[in-house]
Amino acid sequence: MTAPKAVGSDRAFRQPDALAVARWCAVQGWPVHPLAPGRKTPPANCQPCQEPAHSPADCPCPAAGRWCHGFHAATLDQDVLTAWWRVNPDFGTGVACGPAGLVVIDVDSHPSTVPARDRILPGIPIHENVNLDGLENGYHTLALLAALRQAPDPATDTETLRVRTPSGGLHIWYQEDAPRRFACSTGSSNGRALAWQVDVRAHGGYIVAPGTVTTAGTYTALPGARTPAPLPQWLSDELVRTGHLKDQPSTPSPSQPSVPDRGRAAVVAAGGGKRGAERVLDTVLQDVTDCATTPEGAGFTGKLNRAAYTMGGLVSAGHLTHTAAERLLLDAAHTARPSQDRQSSAVIRSGLAAGARQPLHVGKARG
């Protein structure tokens, strides 16, 4: 088995008993993948996997025992885990939620402006007469949702695994209620969302394992159960109601048209109306906006770079204007990662410039 090159790390940082954490998770039946030393994101892919046109679905690296593509490479194989952590003992541990059958309620506690009332509990109207003074974070919105459903607050549920995050948030781990399979979301999304500042980690995402240490601190299991309890029925019903059932379409806000709709309009405005170009545009933009449902480990930068590269080729071939392409990409990037606008702009500029050197004539293979 050949692993990617060792990932460099600050040797002053130490990940204590990291392999033991990974092994314990695998014994629970939770497929594991490494996290970059001191961080909560996966280590870099090997060089071929960083190419713009590369797809995790067709990549031979996970089958060859490499860690490329984050949660796509997650495994229960103890020999593979040993090989990975031998390359870098300071790796952290990520758990692929979907293959593990996990639904993790990720409660944030970040200073932020409270959104409009229709975004606090999506799909549940909050009357103007209701006093929202003191509502500040995900702990409050989750407690409010539970109170409305006359259910216990999951944040206080000692019957399931709960993990305090270094930022003061909370991961509440549950076992998925088969045969239902749920998708990820972010609480700030204009589409699928459970509650403001309450994210959902499930199929298509991963969670940081308890015991993992980052430069910000340790992910610490709280007193109570050490393993996930079954997902409460009321929470399962809420996830269905809010569009989390896998393959169930989410319902964007009417004021936020989907990026692909704007993309089709841009192609037509450029004088094309070409169905092939529309399909290409839809696909690459949707790959970017879908990252909104996976706060970490979605390969956002790579997907944005591939989208910009592809759209640079469409611009060069005359399918849409540079201005329209840049605007569409900026909109999609902001939808997925609203806090990374500056970094996204740099990726977009670089990708458009590189793609423009190879015009993309729809229907022909891309070099």
3-state secondary structure string across 143-199: HHHHHHCCCCCHHHCCCCCEEECCCCCEEEEEECCCCCCEECECCCCCCCCCECCEE
| Residue pLDDT, tens place only, 70-94 | 888 899 999 999 999 999 999 999 9
Residue 306 DSSP code? H
Across 24-169, where does the E strand assignment appear?
32-35, 92-96, 102-107, 162-164
Q: What is the pTM of this model?
A: 0.68
3-state DSSP helix/strand/coil % of the chain, to nearest 5: 40, 15, 45
pLDDT band at 55 (very low <50, low <70, confident <90, very high): confident
User: With 60 as the cut, is the pLDDT of residue 8 above it?
Assistant: no
Q: Which of 73, 64, 79 is nearest to 94 (CA)?
A: 73
| Residue pLDDT, tens place only, 307-330 | 888 888 888 888 878 888 888 888
